[in-house]
């Protein structure tokens, strides 16, 4: 392990880092004010993660929330002058970090293929161009409507309504690359694809299990809940492939002693490091312990009243051998028994998880295994207990609730049809996987992205980049310049939008938008700083104008954008749980959407919660890598399993800086974490550079070059590196079963020393 690792997370370095990022924003004063308004009544919702807020609205310091705000609210502008100086080909050579660092997109631009530059276009002309192009398509399913999870409920609702009135359910969504497996698994098991707990439950739990999640970086406000729980005597058990420092010790920047002294709160009482993709086996081991050694702890009353499929499930548990469990999880029976005991001996248990569980081939079964354990013990639907998929983007869950879903339920479409007196498509549309394939094959012809950076977020970069280039029209509604804007074919538009922190002025006055957090709390958000440019438009208005330019007769789109309350009235009429929406958001903390599973109502076909009797997979790798699985174990050419993850200084494809303080890494991102013994076996030294490659069954070889080795406390056979740099390695077909999520946490790779010649070129 490197000696540079910090002993605790949080504390003074967090505050120092925040100040640095605020200063770099060139809008320091506004951003300090912004920080005080984040997640407050009459303030705006943090554009960082989807973690919820306490009901009292007390200020919660969050280093990475501050970075997200400072990054959005900057005075640096990317305008017509900028694009005059830089051709698209030149921009393509820049790093993702450089591209976003240039500042906020400040006016609408259109790509000119003749001179390879973006040039100004009026909003009116841009909308007309989109409308004309869409109306020239021979089939509405030639349109792909991507969404990234920052869009407001209002923008998302209009977007899906527009897409469906146009005639398509093609709604690829960042969620397809993120928590899709959670939605699928929870719907199959408990009848609703959302978490069953609220923030208050963390105050009442006796045990909290954290699977495959790095909250110190990605959900820093969750650390307050974990710290408080730990101080109250709650046992916290972590399953993480890496030893993440925040999950070991955390110092609250709001506690003077922990801020200024080495003092910190111990977070995890038991910390287990399974092999990548080994969690299903680990949880199976916990279940086996329960069933075989503590059968009286099975909650018979709950199982009988509320569940279906116990016998089949127990039969599978019975046939799963400890040998298989130990080999796949990389954990011993003894370790798993300890974890099982904490679970079994606690009367209120919450399980949390994020990308470490969702980005594998067998993620749906893994998450259903977590649910199996909760069902056996009745740990759901009571205070202090339940299931908590910790969502990523701040409104990704709300987008789904609003209908951003390529497979809407018939009931959802019927409600829209009946209330709005319209006809909409029922057939399933495209998720990200299907959309990229359709674009690659030129079956889809227009791509509109409501935020995000599909080019860098999706796997198989070469394939994905070509797919986006194939679009006859590529429309990006964005705040910052990124690679998705530069993959231009015939025609492309950049439509600059307002950020969360900014005032959204429409004809009826200053507008509020609404969002839903990971606990299904819906609340209002209102930006307060002046927009960076008078030429930026709100996302909601942009969507309304696109709809108006395309299908003006179907709806009075422009009236809706003039007053967002009218959009909320439509939501109230068409989506269950939003009755009296405009009134309910006047409550300071917003309102909670009820969760059927938390109320022990099971919206499944059986009307019961379903056990899932799935075998452990033979291999954690996707089927398209069966050749690579065979080479595993050959000392000269070991197939490692690589996970791609976030550093402390990034937000998905947005790179804030080149450091990863909690992992002791600074100044670079092309690093590869490796177990010291694996490196020694291959005669590789720390600091040496390696090329990383993977070969899928189609024989396509994918490679990324010159990654610097860092010794790390990681299970043997596993590696870790950052996303998006690792995305070129992952075959487009390497997706989760039933979730289609890229298997970003289990990429089979081999490594070899980078040639000296190449390294010299790199250093120049």
Ligand X SMILES: Nc1nc2c(c(=O)[nH]1)N[C@H]1C(S)=C(S)[C@@H](COP(=O)(O)OP(=O)(O)OC[C@H]3O[C@@H](n4cnc5c(=O)[nH]c(N)nc54)[C@H](O)[C@@H]3O)O[C@H]1N2
The site for Mo ion, by CB under 5 A, has a size of: 2
Minimal distance, residue 456 CB to ligand X, in Å: 7
Sole window of 171-179, 303-311, 338-346, 684-692 interacting with ligand X (rule: CB under 6 A): 171-179
Picking from 325, 396, 453, 506, the residue whose alpha carbon sits closest to that of residue 150 is 396
Choose from Mo ion, ligand X, none: what does 561 bind? Cβ within 5-8 Å by kind.
none
CB 545 within 8 A of CB 376: no
Distance CA 64, CA 13 (A): 12
Binding of residue 590 to Mo ion (CB under 5 A): no
Q: Of the two residues 495 and 609, which places its CB atom closer to ligand X in the complex?
A: 495
Bridge partners, 272 (sequence order): 239
Q: To the nearest whole angstrom, how small is the minimum distance from the Cβ of residue 735 to Mo ion?
A: 15
Using CB under 6 A as the criterion, what x/- string covers residues 594-633 for binding ligand X?
----------------------------------------
Q: Mask: binding to ligand X, 337-356, rule CB under 6 A, as x and -?
A: -----------------xxx
The answer to whether residues 703 and 626 touch, using CB atoms and an 8 Å cutoff, is no
In angstroms, give the least distance from the CB of 402 to ligand X: 15
> Closer CB to ligand X, residue 143 or residue 642?
642
What is the rounded CA–CA span in Å between residue 395 and residue 399? 6
Rounded to an integer, what distance in angstroms lies between the CA atom of residue 203 and that of residue 651? 28
392 binds Mo ion (CB under 5 A): yes
**Chosen from ligand X, Mo ion, none, partner binding at 453 (C-beta under 5 to 8 Å by type):** ligand X
Answer for which of 650, 675, 694, 743 binds ligand X (CB under 6 A) is 650
Q: What DSSP line would sit under 462-518, residue for residue? A: HHHHHHHHT-SEEEEEESB--GGGT--SSEEEEEEB--TTB--EETTEE--EEEE-T
- In the sheet with 513-516, reading across from the earlier edge strand, the strands are 513-516, 521-525, 591-592
Contacts to ligand X from residues 189-218, by CB under 6 A? 211-214, 217-218
Does a cis peptide bond (omega within 30 degrees of 0) precede residue 599? no
The stretch near ligand X (CB under 6 A) out of 294-302, 416-424, 452-460, 503-511 is: 452-460
Using the minimum distance from each CB to ligand X, give the nearer residue, 14 or 217. 217
Q: Which is nearer to ligand X, 63 or 201 (CB)?
A: 63
Q: Rule CB under 6 A: is residue 451 a binding residue for ligand X?
A: yes
Q: Are 58 and 199 in contact (CB under 8 A)?
A: no
Q: How many Å apart are CA 386 and CA 202, to the nearest integer?
A: 10
Residue 325 C-beta: closest distance to ligand X, Å: 15
Closer Cβ to ligand X, 118 or 723, answer by number = 723
Q: What is the DSSP letter of 312?
A: H
Q: In angstroms, how far is CA 270 from the centroid of its own chain?
A: 26
Stretch that binds ligand X, among 236-244, 314-322, 414-422, 585-593 (CB under 6 A): 236-244
Burial 559-573 (b: 16+ CB within 10 A, else e): ebbbebbbbbbbbbe
CB 727 within 8 A of CB 459: yes
Q: Which of 193, 489, 499, 531 binds ligand X (CB under 6 A)?
A: 499
User: Is the Cα torsion angle 269, 272, 277, 283 positive or negative in sign?
Assistant: negative
Closer of 440 and 744 to ligand X (Cβ): 744
Tell me how many degrees the CA angle 651-657-660 measures, rounded to the nearest 5: 80
CB nearer to ligand X: pick between 557 and 723: 723
Max Cα distance, the chain (Å): 75
What would the x/- binding string for Mo ion be over residues 173 to 192, using CB under 5 A? -----x--------------
Distance CA 400, CA 383 (A): 26
Q: Helices (H) and strands (E) in the chain — how many of each?
A: 32, 31
Specify whether the CB–CB gap between 545 and 123 falls below 8 A.
yes
Query: How far is 684 from 4, CA to CA, in rounded Å?
Result: 20
Task: Supply φ then ψ for residue 219, to 5 degrees.
Answer: -140, 65
Check residue 242 for interaction with ligand X (CB under 6 A). yes
Question: What does the buried/exposed string (b/e) look like for 437-462 if buried means 16 or more CB atoms within 10 Å of the residue's CB?
Answer: bbbbeeebbbbbbbbbbbbbbbbbbe
Q: Which of 237, 276, 560, 570 binds ligand X (CB under 6 A)?
A: 276
Residue 274 interacting with ligand X (CB under 6 A)? yes
CB-CB neighbours of 478 under 10 Å: 23
Q: Is 148 in the site for ligand X (CB under 6 A)?
A: yes
| Shortest Å distance, C-beta 34 to ligand X | 14
By C-beta, is 393 or 485 nearer to Mo ion? 393
Ramachandran region, residue 530 (left: φ > 0; alpha: ψ -120 to 50; beta: rest): beta
Smaller CB separation from ligand X, 150 or 434: 150
Which entry of Mo ion, ligand X, none binds 723, CB below 5 to 8 A by partner kind? ligand X
CA distance 279 to 291: 18
Q: Give the footprint of ligand X on residues 705-744 (CB under 6 A).
A: 723, 726-727, 744
Considering the complex, what minimum distance in angstroms separates the CB of residue 733 from ligand X? 15
Q: Which residues contact 139 (CB under 8 A, 6 or more apart)?
A: none
536 binds ligand X (CB under 6 A): no
Write the binding mask 349 to 388 for Mo ion: x where contact by CB under 5 A, - elsewhere: ----------------------------------------
Give the one entry of Mo ion, ligand X, none that residue 473 binds, where binding means its C-beta sits below a cut-off of 5 to 8 angstroms depending on kind.
none
CB of 117 to Mo ion, least distance (A): 33
Tell me the closest approach of the beta carbon of residue 517 to Mo ion, in angstroms: 14
Check if the beta carbon of residue 527 is closer than 8 Å to that of residue 503: yes
Q: Is 268 in the site for ligand X (CB under 6 A)?
A: no
Report the alpha-carbon distance of residue 478 to residue 572 in Å, rounded: 28
* Closer residue to ligand X, CB minimum distance, 339 or 473: 339
Residue ranges in 388-417 that form contacts with ligand X under rule CB under 6 A? 392-393
Given ligand X, Mo ion, none, residue 197, with its beta carbon under 5 to 8 Å by kind, binds none
| 658 in Cβ contact with 649 (< 8 Å) | yes
Which stretch, 184-192, 195-203, 399-407, 451-459, contacts ligand X (CB under 6 A)? 451-459
Picked from Mo ion, ligand X, none, the partner binding residue 126 (CB below 5 to 8 A depending on kind) is none
Among 479, 610, 734, 750, binds ligand X (CB under 6 A): 479
Q: 715, 723, 717, 714: which is closest to 751 by C-alpha? A: 717
Distance CA 732, CA 737 (A): 13
Contact between residue 540 and residue 161 where contact means Cβ atoms under 8 Å apart: no
The residue within the footprint of ligand X, chosen from 454, 536, 560, 621 (CB under 6 A), is 454
In angstroms, give the least distance from the CB of 178 to ligand X.
Answer: 3
Question: Which of the choices Mo ion, ligand X, none does residue 650 contact, using the CB cut-off of 5 to 8 A by kind?
Answer: ligand X
Taking the CA of residue 520 as centre, how many other CA atoms within 13 Å lie in the half-sphere pointing to its CB?
A: 20
Distance CA 173, CA 396 (A): 9
Instruction: Draw the binding track, 81-100, toward ligand X (x: CB under 6 A; -: no contact).
Output: -------------------x
> Any contact of residue 654 with ligand X (CB under 6 A)?
yes
Q: Please report whether residue 451 would count as binding Mo ion according to CB under 5 A.
A: no
- Kindly state the number of chain residues that form the binding site for ligand X, as judged by CB under 6 A: 60
Contact residues toward ligand X (CB under 6 A) are 48-49, 64, 100, 148, 150, 174, 177-178, 211-214, 217-219, 239-242, 244, 274, 276-277, 279, 354-356, 359, 392-393, 450-454, 457, 477-480, 482, 497, 499-500, 539, 643-646, 650-654, 723, 726-727, 744-745
Contact residues toward Mo ion (CB under 5 A) are 178, 392
């Amino acid at each position: 392990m490197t000696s540079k690792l910090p002993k605790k997370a949080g504390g003074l370095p967090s505050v120092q880092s925040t100040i640095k990022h605020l200063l770099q924003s060139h809008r320091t004063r506004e951003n300090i004010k912004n920080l005080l308004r984040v997640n407050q009544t009459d303030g705006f919702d943090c554009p960082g993660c989807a973690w919820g807020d306490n009901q009292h609205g007390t200020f919660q310091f969050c280093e990475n929330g501050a970075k997200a705000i400072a990054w959005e609210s900057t005075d640096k502008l990317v305008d017509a002058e900028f694009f005059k100086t830089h051709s698209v080909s030149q921009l393509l050579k820049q790093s993702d970090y450089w591209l976003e660092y240039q500042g906020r997109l400040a006016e609408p631009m259109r790509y000119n293929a003749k001179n390879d530059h973006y040039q100004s276009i009026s909003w009116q002309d841009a909308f007309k161009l989109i409308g004309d192009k869409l109306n020239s398509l021979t089939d509405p399913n030639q349109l792909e409507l991507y969404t990234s999870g920052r869009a407001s409920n209002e923008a998302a609702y209009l977007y899906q309504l527009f897409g469906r009135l146009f005639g398509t359910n093609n709604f690829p969504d960042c969620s397809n690359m993120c928590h899709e497996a959670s939605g699928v698994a929870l719907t199959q098991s408990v009848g609703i694809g959302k978490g069953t707990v609220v923030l208050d439950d963390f105050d009442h739990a006796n045990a909290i299990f954290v699977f495959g999640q790095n909250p110190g970086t990605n959900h820093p406000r969750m650390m307050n809940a974990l710290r408080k729980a730990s101080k109250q005597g709650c046992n916290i058990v972590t399953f993480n492939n890496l030893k993440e420092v925040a999950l070991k010790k955390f110092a609250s920047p709001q506690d003077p002693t922990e801020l200024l002294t080495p003092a910190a709160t111990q977070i995890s009482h038991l910390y287990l490091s399974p092999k990548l993709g080994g969690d299903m086996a680990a949880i199976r081991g916990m279940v086996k312990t329960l069933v075989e050694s503590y059968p009286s702890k099975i909650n018979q009353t709950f199982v009988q009243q509320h569940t279906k499929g116990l016998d089949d499930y127990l039969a599978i548990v019975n046939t799963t051998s400890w040998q298989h469990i130990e080999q796949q999880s990389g954990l011993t029976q003894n370790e798993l028994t300890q974890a099982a005991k904490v679970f079994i001996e606690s009367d209120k248990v919450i399980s949390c998880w994020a990308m470490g569980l969702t980005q594998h081939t067998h993620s749906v079964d893994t998450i259903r295994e977590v649910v199996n354990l909760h069902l056996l013990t009745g740990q759901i639907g009571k205070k202090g207990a339940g299931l908590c998929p910790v969502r990523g983007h701040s409104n990704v869950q709300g987008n789904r609730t609003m209908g951003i879903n390529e497979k809407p339920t018939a009931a959802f479409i019927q409600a829209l049809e009946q209330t709005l007196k319209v006809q909409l498509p029922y057939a399933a549309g495209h998720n990200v996987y299907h959309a990229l394939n359709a674009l690659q094959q030129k079956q889809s012809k227009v791509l509109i992205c409501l935020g995000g950076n599909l080019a860098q977020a999706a796997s198989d970069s070469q394939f994905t980049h070509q797919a986006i280039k194939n679009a006859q029209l590529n429309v990006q509604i964005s705040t910052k310049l990124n690679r998705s804007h530069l993959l231009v074919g015939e025609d492309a538009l950049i439509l600059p939008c307002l950020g969360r922190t900014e005032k959204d002025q429409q004809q009826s006055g200053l507008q509020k938008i609404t969002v839903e957090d990971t606990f299904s709390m819906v609340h209002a958000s209102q930006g307060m700083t002046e927009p960076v440019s008078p030429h930026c438009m709100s996302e909601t208005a942009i969507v309304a104008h696109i709809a108006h330019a395309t299908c003006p007769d179907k709806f009075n789109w422009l009236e809706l954008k003039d007053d967002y309350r009218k959009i909320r009235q439509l939501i109230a009429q068409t989506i269950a749980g939003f009755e009296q929406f405009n009134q309910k958001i006047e409550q300071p903390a917003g309102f909670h959407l009820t969760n059927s599973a938390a109320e022990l109502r099971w919206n499944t076909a059986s009307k019961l919660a379903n056990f899932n009797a799935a075998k452990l997979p033979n291999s954690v790798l996707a089927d398209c890598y069966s050749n690579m699985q065979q080479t595993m174990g050959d000392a000269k050419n070991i197939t490692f399993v690589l996970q791609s993850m976030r550093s402390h200084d990034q937000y998905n494809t947005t790179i804030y800086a080149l450091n990863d303080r909690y992992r002791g890494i600074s100044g670079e991102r092309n690093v590869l974490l490796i177990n010291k013994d694996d490196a020694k076996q291959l005669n590789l030294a720390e600091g040496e550079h390696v090329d990383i490659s993977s070969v899928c069954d189609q024989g396509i070889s994918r490679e990324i070059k010159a990654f610097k080795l860092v010794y790390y406390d990681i299970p043997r056979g596993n590696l870790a590196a950052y996303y998006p740099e690792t995305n070129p390695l992952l075959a487009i077909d390497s997706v989760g079963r039933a979730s289609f999520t890229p298997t970003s946490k289990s990429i089979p790779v081999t490594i070899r020393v980078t040639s000296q010649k190449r390294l010299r070129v790199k250093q120049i």
